[in-house]
Structure 1
Amino acid sequence: MTDRALRLLRQSPHLAELAAFPFNFDLARAAHGHVEEVRLASGGPLEVVAGDDTGGTYFVCADGSVLYADSEGGAGVLGSSVDVALDILTGLPGWHDCLGLSPQDGEEKILACVAETEEEMREYHGIDDERAELRAALGFPERSAVELVGMLHAALSRTEPDFVLLNAEEGCAYELIGPPAPALWVPVLAAGRRDLALLRAGDGTAWEEVAEDPVRRRLALRTAQFDRADSDSELLRHLLRHETRSSMTDELRLAAVLVGLRGDTGDLPLLHEVRETDFDTACGLGGMPQTDAGADELRQWAQDLDDSMFGTDPADEPVSTWTDLARDQGMTELARVALIRDLDEIVMDRSRLRRPDAPRGLATAPLRALARDFEELGDHTQALRAQRLYAALQETAWDRVSARLDLTRLERAAGQLPQAVRTSATLRDVLAAPGDDSLRHWQGVNLGRFIAEEHYRLAGALADAGLPEEARALLAAADAILGELSGNAAKGVRELAEETAARMREVS
């Protein structure tokens, strides 16, 4: 990482003027910041170092990489350092018109595109003498347009997942200005492809290590799902036996399906042994043919499950399949970005939630799943974004209360106490005037207990935050809810109620 070129620009007004025009890297615009508040999805720091005359901004990230954001919601990495970025920007003054190029386009196409762009620029101002002077002063070597396009393409390809920019207020992600990121399953299954190759090669060490490691085992099975080979029978049996250690998982069912598709009735005793591992596997692998079944029946059972749950196209898998596997491998940012983009698509087009069997209804479960996934990642901002939309789309009183209960908890956990107070008040309004009969027994079930507990926890958080008046108001609301609960429901809340009341006395 170097910033020699940036230091030279800051030390020389003449060089800074050259960088600003005609190369549109204007240090003076750094003082204005970006057109809107932004942050990295990863939470890393950003420093504005320059801007351009279109409202675009150049940021330096923690590792020195230069991230460019335009004024229309697009962003991309332009270099691993300011030096590299300026090497590209001064060598390709029309770099915006080169974003769609890659080394695979070939020299002829690249040179023609660059020549056309620069010829258009020359109609308005000079670039050749200015380029030669600035590049010489900054110590950049001679580079061909083909080499520079390759550098630009490589830099842009690094944007996702570590340098994805978000609108700080709304939480939505900027679009990539460069090449699209590879399909999510490509990086997620990379280790699985390596392991499957070792297993197929008969590597004894790999046979034991992959089978013993739950993550490597799952990845190998998922890879085998999309790369099926007739010679995999024994390794699939091996992985199936070991996957029982994780009880009922999607990969256990997948392994059983891949074994069953071979139609070898000699596998039926193994499949039944796997099914009887525990209660969950017995339920999850129900409908399995009996041990005296024929090959066709076994194959049909496996085929039906394969058609309904698996298949051979990774694009048909839900995003959660890949984000779960990414998280299991420590690919946190890859999972986070995929989930953010999935949420962005729902926010922009709620028709994605429409039920095929009831076009006027919305299947909102994906939003709840996203909120939980973000919470597990520790990303409260995105979890709240998903949960707020989920809560707004609920129809029955029970669902509205349940969604707002989770929203209150998330807001409290995120330290957004005023918002949590407002959400809890909305929840109580629904309890008071539900509009349907779905809540008629809430006082005697766990929902009532959970509502009371959250009110006491929020009251305690308000007290700890030095907001005694708000805390007392929440305590009164919590006590009122507790008073409505049945004996059994209230029993589990009383200890928390007493602890919260004692805390109130301490701060009063």
Structure 2
Amino acid sequence: MTRSDRALRLLRGRSDLARLAAFPFDFDLERDEHGEAVRLASGAALEAVAGDDTGGTYFVCADGAVLYASSEGEAGLIAGSVDEALEMLIGLPGWRNYTGLDPHADDTALAAAVAGTEADIRDSYAPELDAERSTLITELELRLIPQPELLRRLHQTLLRTEPDYLLLNADEGCAHTLLDRLPRPPLWQTVLAPGQADLVLLRTDRANWPAVAKDPARRVTALRAAQYDRRGADLPFLRVLLQHEARYGGATEELRLAAALVGLHGQAEDHRLLKSVRQENVDAHYLLGGFPDSAREMSRWATELDESNHGENPEHEDELTWAGLARRQGRAELARCILLRLLDDAGPRDAGLLGLLAHELTQLGDFAQAARARHLYASLQDDPLHQGLALADLASLQRRAGAIEAAWRSLQRAVSVLDGPPPPPATDQPALDLGLPKPEHPTFRWRALGLGLRVTGEHFHIAGAAAQAGQSATARASLTAGTILLRELPTATEDLRQLSREAVAATLSEATPTLPDVQRSSAFD
């Protein structure tokens, strides 16, 4: 804990106060073990300090904030410190009854809701509730805050749960649901807000144009803001954003958006501009396919491009768009939160989505969650080539996440799937009598593709990672299998041969037993 949580120290040193906090205020220091392993999605530290009689747990985060997790898989931030949490728990016993109250209710309505709950508590099990509250508040040197104010503070804090305090099941990686059902602004508003602010700057003074255009995150977010707030006078700076995105961003979706926004105006000079963009970048040439030869047709082309790919209502935009924008804005936890919620909700019909989620999570650097998405994606593939490729990708992600044994198992499955079952024995007697060659096993052809280089290289990556982690058996097995594959490749790049040498060196440096001859051979020379 980073804050001076005086009240918690007092509770730990005074058993009489600790008993009173446990009953009737349900903050029990002896219940400081949660029913399942959990962690914050951000990777920040988390310490369980108390629990309640329903199996819920109070955690202190690295910044001192207090997160509550129920035994039903719900979680929410309830206070900025343990002292504030105790002020709320003592001031609002039965506080979980209030997480669904109307946040716009007046003080009279809020006070009435609390009075009803406390009357039930006094009648059921705590007739001395008021005196016990007074004792704890005094002895712990806390503030006695009006209950409507405590409720508003609780609601404001709960709204801060996501994205920075998203709680996950540590084993499965799934996110807890929100503890409350308080209304929140639409996702697009949160992500688009910086772009809307920049749009005002762009419209106010052209001196702001270079700063927005040169910053990749500001540029693409401003383009998205302009997509949903279109004005004819924006054309001059839209041209600037288009040129910078074409030069520095590449063939992105925002480049296509900028082209549509500019092309809609139908100006001859913009026809020349877009034509030059397509000529200078082969990827942009295909991204902006169907571009007309005549400026007269450009407006129609831009309209069709806009209607098929964009639109003017942000509520119709895919949430992956907002996740990608959040990532590029440097808002990693917001992007992660969006992606994990999508991943948790994905089902058997969402193979395409799972592939995109794996890509976005990889871009975010969350290899463990990317591996979870890729594992689900691989399980939905029927074609051996697609499934084998997905398993090879999974192995790479698991290795990068530090799950080396799992990576090795996935890679073995990838090769098995790609190779398929062995061909049946020849039964054509004339062919046997003539000594004709056996038919080639068709699935072995994947070795001649780039996939062969990729799978072979992953063997050496896993061997090196396993050796570094002290997992010598896995290192030797992966190195042996990779070396055999290397011999079977029709061609091998020098980079792959160098990788094999490094894997051998790493494995030998771990003082493993004598390596098999196949690993000491000159297959990579």
Moved more, 58-67 or 274-283: 274-283
Change (3 A) 1:228 1:371: same
Partner of 2:400: 413
Matched-pair contact (CA < 8 Å) for 1:79–1:152? yes
Matched-pair contact (CA < 8 Å) for 1:101–1:149? no
Matched-pair contact (CA < 8 Å) for 1:449–1:492? no
Q: 1:183 aligns with which of 163, 180, 186?
A: 186
Please state how far the C-alpha of 1:167 moved relative to its aligned partner. 0.4
Aligned partners of 1:73, 1:286: CA distance in 2, in Å? 48
Please state how far the C-alpha of 1:103 moved relative to its aligned partner. 3.8
Are 1:401 and 2:401 counterparts? no
Q: 1:260 aligns with which of 248, 259, 263?
A: 263
The one-letter amino acid paired with 1:433 is G
Are 1:441 and 2:445 counterparts? yes
Aligned partners of 1:418, 1:379: CA distance in 2, in Å? 18
Q: 2:238 aligns with which of 231, 236, 254?
A: 236
Aligned partners of 1:240, 1:224: CA distance in 2, in Å? 12
Matched-pair contact (CA < 8 Å) for 2:418–2:444? no
Aligned partners of 1:375, 1:116: CA distance in 2, in Å? 50
Partner of 1:371: 358
Aligned partners of 1:402, 1:51: CA distance in 2, in Å? 46
Aligned partners of 1:405, 1:292: CA distance in 2, in Å? 47
Partner of 2:348: 350
The one-letter amino acid paired with 1:380 is F
Please state how far the C-alpha of 1:266 moved relative to its aligned partner. 5.7
Matched-pair contact (CA < 8 Å) for 1:103–1:146? no
The one-letter amino acid paired with 2:75 is A
Alignment of 1:186-197 (within 5 A): 186-197=189-200
Moved more, 146-155 or 306-315: 306-315
Matched-pair contact (CA < 8 Å) for 1:398–1:438? no
Matched-pair contact (CA < 8 Å) for 1:448–1:485? yes
Aligned partners of 2:319, 2:390: CA distance in 1, in Å? 23
Aligned partners of 2:382, 2:356: CA distance in 1, in Å? 18
TM-score w.r.t. the length of structure 1 is: 0.89
Please state how far the C-alpha of 1:440 moved relative to its aligned partner. 5.0
Change (3 A) 1:498 1:81: closer
Alignment of 1:137-286 (within 5 A): 137-178=139-180, 179=182, 181-201=184-204, 203-245=205-247, 246-264=249-267, 267-286=270-289
Matched-pair contact (CA < 8 Å) for 1:102–1:150? no
1:169-193 CA distance string (max 9 Å, x none): 1000111112355333222222111
Moved more, 475-484 or 436-445: 436-445
Please state how far the C-alpha of 1:490 moved relative to its aligned partner. 7.1
Please state how far the C-alpha of 1:265 moved relative to its aligned partner. 5.2
Partner-residue secondary structure (3-state), 1:395? coil
The one-letter amino acid paired with 1:184 is L
Q: 1:476 aligns with which of 466, 474, 480?
A: 480
Partner of 1:8: 10
Please state how far the C-alpha of 1:35 moved relative to its aligned partner. 0.9
TM-score w.r.t. the length of structure 2 is: 0.86
RMSD over aligned CA atoms reads: 2.4
Aligned partners of 1:485, 1:146: CA distance in 2, in Å? 72
Partner of 2:427: none
The one-letter amino acid paired with 1:325 is L
The one-letter amino acid paired with 2:96 is H
Aligned partners of 1:199, 1:500: CA distance in 2, in Å? 53
The one-letter amino acid paired with 1:306 is D
Change (3 A) 1:60 1:280: same
Change (3 A) 1:304 1:46: same
Matched-pair contact (CA < 8 Å) for 2:49–2:60? yes
Partner of 2:49: 49
Partner of 1:450: 454
Change (3 A) 1:90 1:285: same
1:8-57 CA distance string (max 9 Å, x none): 22232222222111111111212xx0011001111111111110000000
Aligned partners of 1:11, 1:496: CA distance in 2, in Å? 58
Change (3 A) 1:16 1:215: same
Aligned residues: 488
Matched-pair contact (CA < 8 Å) for 1:18–1:134? yes
Partner of 1:322: 322
5+ unaligned residues in a row in structure 2: which ranges?
Answer: 424-440, 515-525
The one-letter amino acid paired with 1:35 is G
Please state how far the C-alpha of 1:60 moved relative to its aligned partner. 0.5
Partner of 1:29: 31
Aligned partners of 1:481, 1:266: CA distance in 2, in Å? 56
Matched-pair contact (CA < 8 Å) for 2:87–2:144? no
Partner of 2:312: 312
The one-letter amino acid paired with 1:463 is A
Matched-pair contact (CA < 8 Å) for 2:46–2:61? yes
Change (3 A) 1:22 1:370: same
Aligned partners of 2:396, 2:239: CA distance in 1, in Å? 44
Please state how far the C-alpha of 1:502 moved relative to its aligned partner. 4.9
Please state how far the C-alpha of 1:499 moved relative to its aligned partner. 4.3
Aligned partners of 1:459, 1:375: CA distance in 2, in Å? 22
Partner of 2:434: none
Partner of 1:90: 90
Aligned partners of 2:404, 2:135: CA distance in 1, in Å? 57
1:333-361 CA distance string (max 9 Å, x none): 11111111111111xx334x2xxxxxxxx
Please state how far the C-alpha of 1:414 moved relative to its aligned partner. 2.6
Q: 1:289 aligns with which of 280, 292, 296?
A: 292
Please state how far the C-alpha of 1:489 moved relative to its aligned partner. 4.3
Aligned partners of 1:481, 1:249: CA distance in 2, in Å? 37
Are 1:78 and 2:78 counterparts? yes
Change (3 A) 1:291 1:159: same
The one-letter amino acid paired with 2:348 is R
Matched-pair contact (CA < 8 Å) for 2:456–2:486? yes
Change (3 A) 1:311 1:12: same
Partner of 1:464: 468
1:371-399 CA distance string (max 9 Å, x none): 23222322222122112112222111111
Matched-pair contact (CA < 8 Å) for 2:163–2:337? yes
Matched-pair contact (CA < 8 Å) for 1:272–1:291? no
5+ unaligned residues in a row in structure 1: which ranges?
Answer: 354-363
Matched-pair contact (CA < 8 Å) for 1:374–1:382? yes
Partner of 1:388: 375
The one-letter amino acid paired with 2:407 is A
Change (3 A) 1:115 1:299: farther
